[in-house]
Amino acid sequence: MKKYLEKRIKNIKKIKKIRSEASNRSFFRIYKDNYTLVAMVYPEENRDEISKVVKFRSIYDDNKINVPLILDVIDNRIIIQEDLGCLSLQRLFLKSNINKKKGILNQICEILLKLKQISTDNTKSILDTKRMLWEMDFFIKYFALNFCSTSKDIEQIRNNLCSIVDKITNIDTFAHRDFHSRNMFYYKDKLFLVDFQDSLIGPEYYDLVSFAFDSYLDLKSIRKYLFDILLKNKFEINFEKLYLTAIQRNIKALGTFGYQIKIKNNLLFKKYVNRTINYVINNKLFPEFSYLSLFKKNKF
């Protein structure tokens, strides 16, 4: 792949692969004379995916949400983009004091408010009931059957999980889809979003719960501050709907982790499983779903 890049990009001094844990894309940092770029490379030519990245990059930029510049597209396979550096929000948050964390959450609030204002006409993809049901099946197949003591009938578990999905309404909001701390980078004193090509129409609190109950970063007591500043900025929150969406989102994440661990042998995700299980167990609506007790005795 490095030779492939060297043939198509002039004056490269050095190329270094950037670790990508779950994507089928590869990422490389390209060193030029006095600056660096990032190459996002698809396994093969993929005009549709490249077009989505370019399209959504423009939509985010038009709505004053920071995203990396796209400098070139090569062979409908490679996107050359601005290098945002290595400081993910996940890393930044862990080493910040309380005042810095609150400043970061204020920026998150601003982004969430801007995302909410983006018209759903900008995408035809939708995280509807059918798709969320598929995610529940994915969880059963790759997580529950492999890592939980499923004493109950699997079909009953499925029916119960489906009842969560059936209660999720207001699927009418533009969403980033993977709005979590590893898809945000701190660059030039601002937060930038990446991995936005799968933006879609989703439940109204989908992006909010993706960050508030982030598998990669536990906000702990400061989570309340995030909710408070959103409410002060007229971001209406129905907490029952929020916690319902959070349960579905966390169960979906566990399905992804199970697949990566069991099928892809990607053990890097193991450390995020218990936190995500704890989100489900500690969800304020958990007592209403007694069948979710399958999580309680299954510390990973």
Looking at the structure, tell me whether residues 101 and 232 fall in a common domain: yes
DSSP labels for 163-200?
Answer: HHHHH---EEEEE-S--SGGGEEEETTEEEE---TT-E
Question: Looking at the domain assignment, is residue 148 inside a domain?
Answer: yes
Q: Would you say residue 268 lies in a domain?
A: yes
Q: Tell me: the pLDDT tens digits for 214-245?
A: 999 999 999 999 999 999 999 999 999 999 99
Determine, yes or no, domain membership for 226.
yes
Residues 152 and 230 in one domain: yes
The chain-wide mean pLDDT, for the chain, equals: 93
d(CA 264, CA 191): 31
pTM higher than 0.75 for the full model? Answer: yes
Answer yes or no: do 49 and 165 share one domain. Answer: no
DSSP annotation of 68: P
Beta-bridged to residue 202, according to DSSP, are: 173
Distance from C-alpha of 118 to C-alpha of 190, rounded to nearest angstrom: 20
Question: Is residue 94 domain-shared with residue 63, that is, in the same domain?
Answer: no
pLDDT digits (tens, 9 = 90+) for 81-133: 999 999 999 999 999 999 999 999 999 999 999 999 999 999 999 999 999 99
Tell me: do 177 and 245 sit in the same domain: yes
156 part of a folded domain = yes
> pLDDT band at residue 278, thresholds of 50, 70 and 90?
very high
Tokens 């089928």 locate to 24
Last-in-domain residue among 82, 116, 143: 82
d(CA 199, CA 115): 10
What's the CATH code of the domain at 141? Answer: 3.90.1200.10
Looking at the 3D structure of the chain, how many domains does it have? 2
Q: Which domain range does residue 64 map to?
A: 2-82
Q: Are 160 and 216 found together in one domain? A: yes
Encode pLDDT of 61-83 as tens digits.
999 999 999 999 999 999 999 99
